[in-house]
Amino acid sequence: MKPTDDKNPEYFHKVVDCQYACPAHTPVPEYIRLIAEGKYTEAYMINWESNVFPGVLGRTCDRPCEPACRRGRIEEEPVAICRLKRVAADNKDDVKSLMPQLPFEGNGKRIALIGGGPASLTVARDLAPLGYEIHLYDEQEAGGGMMRSQIPSFRLPIDVLNEEVNYVLDMGIHTQFKTYVSSLKEILDKEYDAVFVGTGAPRGRDLIIPGRQEAAENIHIGVNWLASVAFEHTHKIGKKVIVLGGGNTAMDCCRTSRRLGGEQVKVVVRSPFAEMKASPWEKEDAVHEDIQILDNHVPKVFVVENGKLKGMTFEKVHAVFNDKGKRSLIPTGEPEVFIEADDVLVAIGLENTFPWIEKETGVDFGEWGMPIVDAKTFQSSNKKVFFGGDAAFGPKNVITAVAHGHQAAISIDLYCREKDLTERPSPFTNLVSQKMGIHEWIYESEVENDHRYLVPHAAKSVTLSDRKMEVELGFDVETALKEARRCLNCDVETVFYKDKCIECDACVFICPTQCITFTTNGEEEDLRTRLRAPSLNLKQDLYVSDTLPTQRVMVKDEDVCLHCGLCAERCPTSAWDMQQFLYKVTKAG
């Protein structure tokens, strides 16, 4: 193998698994360390800068960081990264004074944002301080998009949402709520310098099977129903409820139903339980609220008697996989199952819809009715029009929408300054030695043995009777400290200086997880068979040095490195050093 180019920031970035997995690349270990130090405000601001909605995401994020967390490869559970973020939001002091302060000197450019969700708000947050005049259009009565209409209050209190939406809107954003944009052409005619479309994936998919029309009164599209509850138009539901679908919307629907009078709430899903799209913790929370989840059931008929919905019949199936891993659901041949229901909520997926974008705007559409958008610049075929969030590439999640927003903001800024959009700014990086003495480091190098702490929940009897009562209580400060200390500090990198190494093997023998091997060089596949510990995780890189005096190379398998610093403590010549690596995605401007 060629020696690793550790001067390329992407190498060490990849070692910080959580940050690498985060669409917005939030510097996770950095803010976790700040939480451990009790510096909640600073931790919040690092988050705010990167993901705009720390309080919201600390409760509702899909957490792509947690399955990536190195801790999860060393023991059972990853660090509770998401809920630590909430601790920063819950315990921060005044942060407003740390944010960009009005007035911003105008640059004469006007930008329209269609849709007031996380993607648009991120664009607004990034561009307003640069002097852009931002006009935000949304059909709802307040900003936040799906965070407001689809995430129930028992998961995300309205105050938390309002606070973080307002941090953005207070930057002099011109808002036009309750304004449904029915024509892109009209917006373009207003001669904005650029237009950003962040309208999400607003339409819930319907289920057209026999009985759908007859029972229409008691069949609701999940996202519409959730919005109707959020905006206080709907206050109750029948005692027996069927929720169709296995995603997070289905989980929100069933749990909301329990709060609006649903007593026997059943989630019925086509796929096997393990393959449901909902996050595992959402499923757990639903089950905890006495919701039954029936998997491998395909809906057949809405059963209607005397013009009233009685229930539904389902066919039982099992999943079969072909050679290519493609799944098909094969009927088991068992008799169909009838389940009683007063109401049915259909939460089987979201669709994009752009009836308001006219052909003559020059915004071209490709497959599945999706706009043709550049994956890097987020620019559409009309150079003035940019897309982001679910509107760009289909339904994902809040943190992805924020990441899109940042990139779109960069593009819009470059576009308005007539620069090349493909020349993206390089990330901000920094690498600083943590050495203080022979056995002393600036960072807390000791690896805690504790297992993951659980976030306390409010009593079910209380939460089920109040739709707005938040279920999760959040970590208290003491537990947060313990959980924060489970973080392995993966951003404190093991940096190897080949020229200093005397090949004494001290690091090889001290490493608790046997990451380090000195051996003759070879191709990666061959090298991985010759390391001290099995090297089976091919997603993790090997850190390879140049050839040493004994004609061997140092090979470090990054997979389960604890970042405990013992290699560097044991090194008599400081050939190993622990250096904190900071990586920040550069924002617009």
Partner 1 sequence: MTYIRSQFRHPGLPVNELGYTTKEYEGALSTLCAGCGHDSISGCIIQACFEMSVAPHRIAKLSGIGCSSKTPTYFLGNSHGFNSVHGRMPSVATGANMANRDLIYLGVSGDGDTASIGMGQFVHVIRRNLNMVYIVMNNGCYGLTKGQDSATADEGSKSKKGSVNPFQPIDLAGMALELGASFVAQSFSGDKEQLVPLIKAAIDHPGFAFINVISPCVTFNNNPGSTKAYDYVREHIEASATIDFVPAKTEITTKYADGTGTDIELHDGSHIHLEKLAAGINPYDRLAAMNALQNARNNHEILTGLLYIEPESTDLHHTIQSSDRALNSLGQEELCPGAEALAGINEGFR
- List contacts with partner 1 (CB under 8 A): 73-75, 438-441, 445-447, 449, 502-506, 508-510, 512-515, 533-534, 536, 549-550, 560, 562, 564-566, 569-573
Instruction: Please compute, for residue 543, the number of CA atoms within 13 A of its CA located in the half-sphere on the CB side.
Output: 24
In angstroms, the CA 22 to CA 40 distance is: 21
Q: What is the DSSP string of 132-182?
A: -EEEEE-SSSSS-THHHHTS-TTTS-HHHHHHHHHHHHTTT-EEETT----
243 φ, ψ to 5°?
Answer: -110, 125
Residue 449 vs 461, nearer CB to partner 1: 449
Question: Are 4 and 15 in contact, with CB atoms under 8 Å apart?
Answer: no
The least distance separating partner 1 from the CB of residue 483, rounded to whole angstroms, comes to 17
The least distance separating partner 1 from the CB of residue 34, rounded to whole angstroms, comes to 21
Total residue count of the chain as it appears in this document: 589
The least distance separating partner 1 from the CB of residue 508, rounded to whole angstroms, comes to 7
User: What's the start-to-end Cα distance of the chain, in Å?
Assistant: 39
Residue 8 vs 574, nearer CB to partner 1: 574
Name the H helices within 335-397.
390-393
Residue 75 vs 466, nearer CB to partner 1: 75
In angstroms, the CA 559 to CA 513 distance is: 10
Residue 124 vs 566, nearer CB to partner 1: 566
Residue 324 vs 539, nearer CB to partner 1: 539
The least distance separating partner 1 from the CB of residue 78, rounded to whole angstroms, comes to 14
The least distance separating partner 1 from the CB of residue 125, rounded to whole angstroms, comes to 40
> Strand, coil or helix: what is 470?
coil
Residue 431 vs 533, nearer CB to partner 1: 533
> Could you tell me the strand order of the sheet in which 576-584 lies?
428-433, 576-584, 492-496
Residue 75 vs 93, nearer CB to partner 1: 75
Left, alpha or beta for 278 (phi > 0: left; psi -120 to 50: alpha)? beta
User: 345 forms bridges with which residues in the sheet?
Assistant: 220, 243
Question: Are 250 and 298 in contact, with CB atoms under 8 Å apart?
Answer: no
Residue 121 vs 506, nearer CB to partner 1: 506
Nearest to 389 by CA among 413, 365, 370, 362: 370
The least distance separating partner 1 from the CB of residue 506, rounded to whole angstroms, comes to 5
Asked if the peptide bond before residue 103 counts as cis, ω within 30 degrees of 0, the response is yes
The least distance separating partner 1 from the CB of residue 205, rounded to whole angstroms, comes to 41
The least distance separating partner 1 from the CB of residue 497, rounded to whole angstroms, comes to 15
In angstroms, the CA 149 to CA 171 distance is: 23
